[in-house]
Structure 1
Amino acid sequence: MTVTILRTGPLTVLKDRGRPGHAAQGVAPSGAVDRSSFTRANALVGNPPEAAVLECTLGGLRVRFDEPATAVLTGTDAVLTVCGDRAGVEQVVEVPAGAEVTVTMPRRGLRSYLAVRGGFAVPPVLGSRSTDRLTRVGPATPAVGDVLPIGAVPAGDHGIGAARHTTAPAGADGGPWEVDLGPREDWFTAEAVETLLGAEFTVSPAGDSVGLRLAGPALSRSRTAELPSEGVVRGAIQVPPDGQPIIFQADHPVTGGYPVIAVLTPAAADRAAQARPGAKVRFVVAPSGGPVDRPQR
């Protein structure tokens, strides 16, 4: 079974759970930018959790299936159409052979995840089918005319449709993004920490799957020394000399040379993955510190 790319939209890439364990070789984990939406997409079509999907930014994707398939779209309120028929939000659909499937532009949210039962079976690179847009490791970005293979259908039911999502998409407005302060909180003034947790920031257009840039009041340092480069993770809030925060996303570098004032919780990092330019952002300390990702070697 194969899928032919007829249109890519602004940006469509292959993503899976990533390639942890290669930081010592300078290769970051990468993986889906919105992990919860990626995980839900695979669960809905009965795939194993590591199956590859198409991550589509701002819709516009159109593909053709050469054989009957089971597919679903998660992540935003974009609509999946099959031969012009519109599916419901996160509705698992049966796609006939030769059918064209389209992802509309979402009204809210940024990244949609198209999963097909069997997963996209392109050759893995360092154990992953994720495209890392910073280091260019992984499969090439799909282009019009490309034909992507679909893997074998998993044996058994595997709970198709069991992960039905009934709440608002990840891109919907919500409360503050939860963070765990540190590890370099002491490199900033008390006023800077207070500002981070009290001020409103705006998502800048100058952002991508590597980092989300924010504009707002500058976060001032208490130390002027140079910080040696150290490991960073998805959700780390790095502050360069201009005081404007940068939130690392899935395709972040292995190390960073600016102090990290706080780290988003995994759930907040997924929300950041769906934030459009112009969105307003506030931060709050997660209860009990909250879980965060840790650097992997």
Structure 2
Amino acid sequence: MSAGIEVVRAGALTTVQDEGRFGHAHLGVGRAGALDAPSARLANRLAGNPVGAALLETTVTGCAVRPDRAVRAVVGGAPCRVTVDGRPVAWGAAVHVPAGAVLDAGPAAHGVRSYLAFAGGLEPQPVLGSRSADLLSGLGPDPLRDGDVLPLGPPRTGGPPATAAVPWPGVPAELVLPLLLGPRHTWFTADALRTLTTAAYRVSEQSNRIGLRTEGPALDRARQGELPSEGMVLGAVQIPPDGRPVVFLNDHPTTGGYPVVGVVPEPALAGAARVTPGTVVRFVRTAH
């Protein structure tokens, strides 16, 4: 009988994620995958897994699970209180969870998303080459509910030893996003482009895995009318009718009809997964 992990407390939004699914945008299927990829990869390495193994991504409130076999586990990403059967254990390092014990990752003390990796990785049925949940398309495993059981793979032999402490990415006090202008920046006035790259926006509470929404000055258009639907990429900064930028994240739609004023390069997007509502966001024009 294969090993499994029972969900004791699902939390506000906990999903299974890996590196994501690639090469299917022409079918209308986006990437999905862990929003904070550096934290997810580090959690997997400390658990002795390949960096792309499936793990849990929590949102703000954390989650609690019970494995039916002893397992090495790592809780990283957003700092939080971690316990095993009520006893405090290390955050950000490998810990031993006995069979039947409850591993509880509490609410995030800073940031938004924590990651729970388990030796052997989670093994729900893959869809188009990935085990990731895509909230927009509905592909992959559903968000976790209390009582769910997730298959757990066998631990990899010869994995790295447990590490007591490693440096984890911090939560930015201010999110600075490099911006490559285009392809539709000419749809906006010169004053609007100046505002975009000088104003202080803030992270909206309406942000999610689809996109980081902002609050701040609206951008005025130089050109009105509708844009035919066109392909969208990860990091695209779309300007909806309210004029306030939306930065597309992993679960973004593959097409859209609102103009894209610029694109944030992928390496800068991990910070967008970490910041809390109200955090200042600044767009800085870059040429590469």
TM-score range, shorter-chain basis?
over 0.9
Q: Distance in 2 between matches of 1:154 and 1:193?
A: 51
The yes-or-no answer on 1:166 pairing with 2:167 is yes
Q: Distance in 1 between matches of 2:27 and 2:224?
A: 30
Q: 29, 32, 36: which one pairs with 1:30?
A: 32
Question: What runs of 5+ residues in structure 1 fail to find an aligned partner?
Answer: 290-297
Q: Which residue of the partner structure matches residue 61 of structure 2?
A: 59
Q: Distance in 2 between matches of 1:174 and 1:45?
A: 31
Given that 1:92 and 1:161 are in contact with CA atoms closer than 8 Å, whether structure 2 keeps it comes out as yes
Q: Distance in 2 between matches of 1:59 and 1:213?
A: 20
Q: CA RMSD in A?
A: 1.8
Q: 91, 114, 118: which one pairs with 1:116?
A: 118
Q: Distance in 2 between matches of 1:198 and 1:24?
A: 35
Q: Distance in 2 between matches of 1:26 and 1:183?
A: 21
Counterparts in 2 of 1:1-297, with a 5 A limit?
1-157=3-159, 159-161=160-162, 165-167=166-168, 169=170, 171-174=171-174, 176-286=176-286, 288-289=287-288
Q: Between Structure 1 and Structure 2, how many residues are aligned?
A: 286
Q: Any idea what SS the aligned residue of 2:196 has?
A: helix
Q: Distance in 2 between matches of 1:105 and 1:43?
A: 23
Residues 264 and 72 (structure 1 numbering): CA distance in 2 closer, same or farther, change over 3 Å? same
Structure 1 residue 10 displacement after superposition? 0.8
Given that 1:43 and 1:162 are in contact with CA atoms closer than 8 Å, whether structure 2 keeps it comes out as no
Given that 1:44 and 1:163 are in contact with CA atoms closer than 8 Å, whether structure 2 keeps it comes out as no
Question: What runs of 5+ residues in structure 2 fail to find an aligned partner?
Answer: none
Q: Any idea what SS the aligned residue of 2:16 has?
A: strand
Q: Distance in 1 between matches of 2:207 and 2:88?
A: 31
Residues 250 and 226 (structure 1 numbering): CA distance in 2 closer, same or farther, change over 3 Å? same
Structure 1 residue 59 displacement after superposition? 2.7
Given that 1:59 and 1:112 are in contact with CA atoms closer than 8 Å, whether structure 2 keeps it comes out as no
More moved, 178-187 vs 233-242: 178-187
Residues 257 and 165 (structure 1 numbering): CA distance in 2 closer, same or farther, change over 3 Å? farther
Q: Distance in 2 between matches of 1:185 and 1:165?
A: 42
Q: Distance in 2 between matches of 1:179 and 1:25?
A: 27
- For residues 175-231 of structure 1, the C-alpha deviation after alignment (integer angstroms, 9 at most, x for no partner) is 522222222222222211211111011211222111221111111222224222222
Given that 1:200 and 1:216 are in contact with CA atoms closer than 8 Å, whether structure 2 keeps it comes out as yes
Q: Which residue of the partner structure matches residue 294 of structure 1?
A: none
Q: Distance in 2 between matches of 1:89 and 1:198?
A: 38
Given that 1:43 and 1:161 are in contact with CA atoms closer than 8 Å, whether structure 2 keeps it comes out as no
Structure 1 residue 268 displacement after superposition? 2.4
Q: Distance in 2 between matches of 1:197 and 1:126?
A: 38
Calculate percent identity across the aligned residue pairs. 45
Amino acid at match of 2:48: G
Q: Distance in 2 between matches of 1:115 and 1:244?
A: 36
Given that 1:108 and 1:172 are in contact with CA atoms closer than 8 Å, whether structure 2 keeps it comes out as no
Residues 183 and 80 (structure 1 numbering): CA distance in 2 closer, same or farther, change over 3 Å? farther
Given that 1:40 and 1:163 are in contact with CA atoms closer than 8 Å, whether structure 2 keeps it comes out as no
- For residues 8-49 of structure 1, the C-alpha deviation after alignment (integer angstroms, 9 at most, x for no partner) is 111111111111111121111111111111111111212112
Q: Distance in 2 between matches of 1:192 and 1:48?
A: 45
- For residues 78-132 of structure 1, the C-alpha deviation after alignment (integer angstroms, 9 at most, x for no partner) is 1221122323331111111111100111121101110001110111111111111
Residues 100 and 205 (structure 1 numbering): CA distance in 2 closer, same or farther, change over 3 Å? same
Q: Any idea what SS the aligned residue of 1:79 has?
A: strand
Structure 1 residue 164 displacement after superposition? 5.8
Q: Any idea what SS the aligned residue of 2:14 has?
A: strand
Q: Any idea what SS the aligned residue of 2:8 has?
A: strand
Amino acid at match of 2:261: I
